């Protein structure tokens, strides 16, 4: 549901990050509404869903890995005497979860997604053949032409982005959740709308903490590697070019659609996660009671 609702905003974000508008003195970068309207006019509304196949194939394992690894890291970092995890422990668990999902799923998924989103062909014109037809064809073409390693282009930046994202996200969520329980001590479990509100706030914090990393990563993953050029050289070259030709604001291109995509997405994810977790815990308790009675 998160992917289906938020994919158009992600496509707009990627196009804004790849755009070179605003390079000339006295000109401004194109905003997210203007970018979205331009895509719809030139490529039809369906173009806003470019790369959806790559996202749908990766989002389920990504979320499974994120929450499973977070709970594991949190359990390892929990104080054995008190049985509670400190704010620092939660932040480290979030960093670990973000890094794990970036290496396992997110990097190859985003390389494919960005290549598909960057194609400015019209879906209304059957004669205009795109380079990549779909997610499967994109994977095949990238591996054949650039090698398997191309799917992991930008893995260090993706891991850094996901780590900071989830570190900030989980820490903010857990602390806001604790505060909500302190304000409402009569509630054993918070209602879903409160989980959604807390997820919305914590989800918005991540993009602001690492927008420059995400913009550089997008440009790196869209481009093809030059022979003999190291990853660090490509990253520094992209950052230097952005600074010199487009200015400081270019590092925050696409921040508006990214926040509008990520924040509601996290609201949906945390509300569903808490509801499913509660159902599983109740099921486990019922199962244990039945085994004791037997």
| Model confidence pLDDT, tens digit, residues 186-239 | 988 899 999 999 999 999 998 888 889 989 988 888 877 777 777 788 889 999
Q: How many CB atoms lie within 10 A of CB 37?
A: 13
For the ranges 20-34, 101-115, 169-183, which has the lowest average pLDDT?
A: 20-34
What is the reported pLDDT for 80? 86
Tell me how far apart the alpha carbons of residues 44 and 276 are, in angstroms, rounded to a whole number: 38
pLDDT band at 126 (very low <50, low <70, confident <90, very high): low
C-alpha 30/C-alpha 41 separation (Å) is 15
Task: Give yes or no for a contact between 222 and 189, defined as CB atoms under 8 angstroms apart.
Answer: no
CB distance 44 to 122 below 8 Å: yes
Q: Alpha carbon of 118 to those of 11, 70, 93, 102, 173: distances in Å?
A: 8, 32, 33, 21, 33
Residue 291 has pLDDT above 80, yes or no: no
Share above pLDDT 70 across residues of the chain, in percent, rounded to a whole number: 94
Tell me how far apart the alpha carbons of residues 192 and 177 are, in angstroms, rounded to a whole number. Answer: 12
What's the pLDDT band for 17 if we cut at 50, 70, 90? confident
- Asked whether the CA dihedral 46, 48, 51, 55 is positive or negative, the reply is negative
Residue found under tokens 């064809």: 137
Examine the pLDDT at 129 and tell me if it is beyond 90: no
Residue in this structure with the two tokens 């499974």, named with its chain if needed: 64
34 with 25: CB under 8 angstroms? no
Position 22 confidence tier, pLDDT thresholds 50, 70, 90:
low
Residue in the block written with tokens 């549901």: 1
Domain residue spans in the chain?
1-20+29-50, 67-121+131-153, 171-223+230-293
User: What pLDDT shows up at residue 141?
Assistant: 93
Residues 178-191, mean pLDDT to the nearest whole number: 91
Buried/exposed code over 78-104 (b: 16+ C-beta within 10 A; e: otherwise)? beeeeeebeeebbbbbbbbbbbbbbbb
Does the CA dihedral 286-90-70-256 come out positive or negative?
A: positive
Instruction: Say if residues 58 and 109 touch (Cβ distance below 8 Å).
Output: yes
Over residues 58-72, mean pLDDT = 91
- Return the percentage of the chain with pLDDT > 90, whole number: 44
Residue of 69, 97, 73, 55 whose CA lies nearest to 206: 97
Distance CA 99, CA 21 (A): 32
Q: So what's the pLDDT on residue 187?
A: 86
pTM (2 decimals)? 0.76
Report which secondary-structure segment, H or E, holds 234.
helix 231-246
Q: In this predicted structure, what is the pLDDT of residue 70?
A: 95
């Amino acid at each position: 549901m998160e992917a289906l609702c938020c994919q158009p905003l992600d496509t707009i974000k990627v196009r804004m990050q790849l755009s070179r508008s605003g390079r000339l003195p006295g000109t401004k970068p194109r905003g997210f509404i203007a970018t979205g309207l331009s895509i719809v006019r030139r490529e039809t509304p369906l173009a806003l869903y470019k790369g959806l196949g790559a996202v749908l194939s990766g989002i389920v394992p990504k979320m499974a890995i994120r929450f499973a690894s977070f709970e594991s890291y949190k359990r390892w970092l929990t104080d054995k005497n008190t049985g509670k995890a400190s704010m620092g422990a939660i932040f480290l668990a979030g960093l670990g979860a973000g890094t794990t999902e970036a290496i396992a799923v997110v990097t190859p998924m985003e390389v494919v997604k960005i290549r598909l989103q960057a194609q400015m062909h019209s879906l209304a014109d059957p004669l205009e053949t795109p380079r990549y037809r779909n997610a499967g064809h994109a994977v095949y073409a990238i591996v054949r032409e650039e090698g398997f390693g191309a799917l992991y282009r930008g893995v260090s930046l993706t891991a850094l982005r996901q780590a900071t994202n989830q570190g900030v996200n989980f820490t903010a969520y857990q602390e806001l959740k604790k505060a909500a329980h302190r304000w409402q001590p009569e509630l054993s479990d918070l209602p879903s709308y409160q989980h959604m509100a807390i997820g919305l706030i914590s989800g918005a914090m991540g993009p602001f903490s690492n927008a420059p990393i995400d913009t550089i990563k997008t440009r790196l993953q869209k481009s093809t590697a030059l022979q003999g050029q190291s990853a660090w050289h490509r990253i520094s070259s992209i950052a230097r070019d952005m600074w010199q030709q487009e200015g400081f604001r270019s590092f925050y291109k696409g921040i508006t659609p990214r926040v509008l995509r990520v924040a509601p997405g996290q609201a949906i994810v945390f509300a569903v996660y808490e509801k499913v977790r509660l159902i599983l815990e109740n099921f486990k308790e019922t199962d244990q009671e039945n085994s004791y009675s037997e």
